[in-house]
Amino acid sequence: MLEFIGKGKSHHCNGKTRRDFLRVGTLGAMGMTLADYLWAQQHGAVKEGSDDRACIMIFNLGAPSQLDTFDMKPDAPAEVRGPFRPIKTNSDHFQVSEILPMHAKIADKFSIVRSCYHTSAAVHDAGWQMMQTGRQFTGGVETPHAGSVVAFLKGRKSDLPPHVVLPELMGRGGGGLPNGQAGGFLGKSFDPFALMADPSKPNFRVPDLLPPDEIGTVRLERRKRMREIVDDQIGRFEKSDDARLLNENFHTAYRLMTSPQAREAFDLSQEKPQTRERYGMNRFGQCCLLARRLIESGVRFVTINTFLTVFDEITWDIHGSKPFTSIEGMKNIVAPTYDRAYSALIEDLDQRGMLDLTLVTNLSEFGRTPKVNPAGGRDHWPQCFTVGFAGGGVQGGRAVGASDPIGAVPADRPTPPGDVVATIFHALGLDLQAELPGPGGRPYPLVDFGSHEIKELF
C-alpha cells in the first residue's frame, strides 16, 4: 500500500486532517478524494448490495441500420426493407436479420428496444454525447460518461481503474464536438483509462503496464521524483486543482505499473487458443474478450468502441459510397465480426456465472434512413433506432417498444437517451433520484429530467 503522507499532522478549515485527505490506501486508491467520498455518502447515490455489479457498454460507431439488423420490415416496399430477410431466433418475441445468425441462437439471453430516438443533430458526435451521457452538451457543460459517473460514485475495487475504454477513445465524428467519453464536469481524474493498443496484435502490450526494466532508469527515476513534487504540493491542495490531479494521476499510473493483478488481467495469452478464436482474432473480438477479463478482475465499467472513427474504415456507417461503407461491406465484414464476438461474450459471461451481475448494453448514435439512398446505402436517422441489453437483471428474449411500418419513428414506448442511461444506472444499483456535484459545485441530477429506467426489461 502506497501512502504519500507527511509525518506531521495539519488541519484544514473543515476539520479534516491532511492524513484524512491523502490516504492513498483507502480513498486515493479507489480513485476518489475525500470530497467525492463524502458527497456519495451524504447523497445516498449507491444502493446497498450493488458493489459487484458491472457494465460492458458496446458502442457501435457509425450506427447500425435498424432495418437491416433488429427491426426488419419484410412486408415493406423493397426500397425500405432492403436486401436481407429476417430469420427465426430462440425467442418467440422477435426475429433478427440473416446477417446475424449467431445472435439468433442466443436471443433468449438479450432483449432489444426498437423505439429509441433523440432530437439532436444527425451528426455522429452529437449522438455519441446523447447516448453515452444521457444528455446533449449545452452552455459549455460537458456531462460525464456513464462509466465516469459510476467511477465517481463507486470508486475502484481493485488495482485496475474503475472505467476502461477499449481499444482507445473515439476519433473524429465530423461535427467537431466532444465525443462524450470523458469525466466531463466531474473532472479529468474521472476520465476513463484508454488502452491505446490493439489486443489482437501478436505483440500486444499495454503501454502503462511495461515492467520497470523496459521503462528505463531515467523514466523510473523521474516517476520516483514525482513523490517529492506531490509532497511539496500538499500544502496547496485547497488552492490547486492541478496538484490534486497530479496526485491522483501518479497513484493511478504507479498502481497500474506495479500491479501483478493489472498485468494478469490484460494478459490475453492466459486464454485458451480456442477461446480467443471463438471471439474472433480481430480488434473487436479481442476487445470483447479483454472486457470479460477486466470485469473479472474488478473493473466496474468497460466501454468498447467497435470502431475508432467513421472515416476511412469499414464501419456501420453505410452511406453506400467511399469513404463510407456499402451494405455489402456491412454484410461481409462488419456483421460477421460483430455477430461472432457479441455472441461469444454473452455465452462466456453466462457460462462463468457472470451474466446476472454484468449488464451488456449495445448502443449507437442513431439509426439509418428508412429508404435506401441512390448509392445503395442508408443515411443518418436519429428519429428511430434499436439498442440492446443483456444480463445485469435484464430479462432476455424481449422486444420493447416498436417502430412504425417503415422503421421511421417510434410507434410504441418512445425511448430517449435519458431512459437508456437511466437503465444502465438502475442495473448498477444507483439511485436515479441522486445528484452529482455539478459545475460550480451545484447539485446536478444524476439523470435528465423525466428520465427513468426501461422497466419492461426487468
Q: How far is CA 427 from the centre of its chain?
A: 14
pLDDT given at position 45: 84
Q: Is residue 6 part of a domain?
A: no
Q: Is residue 19 part of a domain?
A: no
Residues 186 and 291 in one domain: yes
Spatial contact of 223 and 282, defined as CB atoms under 8 Å apart:
no
Residue 111 — φ and ψ, nearest 5°? -125, 160
Question: What is the rounded average pLDDT of the residues 232-249?
Answer: 55
Taking the complete model, does pTM exceed 0.95, yes or no? no
What is the DSSP-derived secondary structure letter of residue 374? T
Residues 365 and 219 in one domain: no
Q: Is residue 13 part of a domain?
A: no
Which of 7-16, 275-284, 322-331, 373-382 has the weakest average pLDDT? 7-16
Closest C-alpha among 70, 50, 53, 49 to residue 357 = 53
* Domains identified in the chain, total number: 2
Q: Which domain holds residue 129?
A: 44-200+269-457
The C-alpha atoms of residue 406 and residue 73 are separated, in whole angstroms, by 7
Last residue of a domain, one of 229, 244, 265: 265
- Give the containing element (helix H, strand E) for 59: strand 54-59
Q: Cell 467513421: give the residue.
A: 310
Q: Is residue 138 part of a domain?
A: yes
Question: What is the rounded average pLDDT of the residues 126-144?
Answer: 96
What's the CATH code of the domain at 125? 3.40.720.10
Which of 92-101, 228-237, 309-318, 330-339 has the weakest average pLDDT? 228-237
The C-alpha atoms of residue 122 and residue 79 are separated, in whole angstroms, by 21
pLDDT given at position 59: 98
Q: To the nearest whole number, what is the mean pLDDT of the chain?
A: 87
For the chain, what percentages of helix, strand and coil (3-state, to nearest 5) are there?
A: 40, 15, 45
Q: Tens digit of pLDDT for each residue in 40-82?
A: 554 568 888 899 999 999 999 999 999 999 999 999 999 999 9
Q: Tens digit of pLDDT for each residue in 8-49?
A: 344 434 444 443 333 333 344 445 555 555 555 545 688 888
Beta-bridge partner residues of 412: 402
Q: Tens digit of pLDDT for each residue in 266-277?
A: 999 999 999 999
Q: Collect all residues with Cβ–Cβ distance below 8 Å to 54 and sequence separation of at least 6.
A: 295, 299, 300, 301, 302, 357, 358, 359, 428
Residues 63 and 171 in one domain: yes
The C-alpha atoms of residue 145 and residue 142 are separated, in whole angstroms, by 9
Spatial contact of 183 and 144, defined as CB atoms under 8 Å apart:
yes
Q: Tens digit of pLDDT for each residue in 397-436?
A: 999 999 999 999 999 999 999 999 999 999 999 999 999 9
**Whole-number Cα distances in Å, 423 to 113, 403, 447, 452:** 12, 20, 10, 7
Residues 158 and 273 in one domain: yes
Is the per-residue pLDDT at 246 higher than 90?
Answer: no
pLDDT given at position 338: 98
pLDDT given at position 273: 97
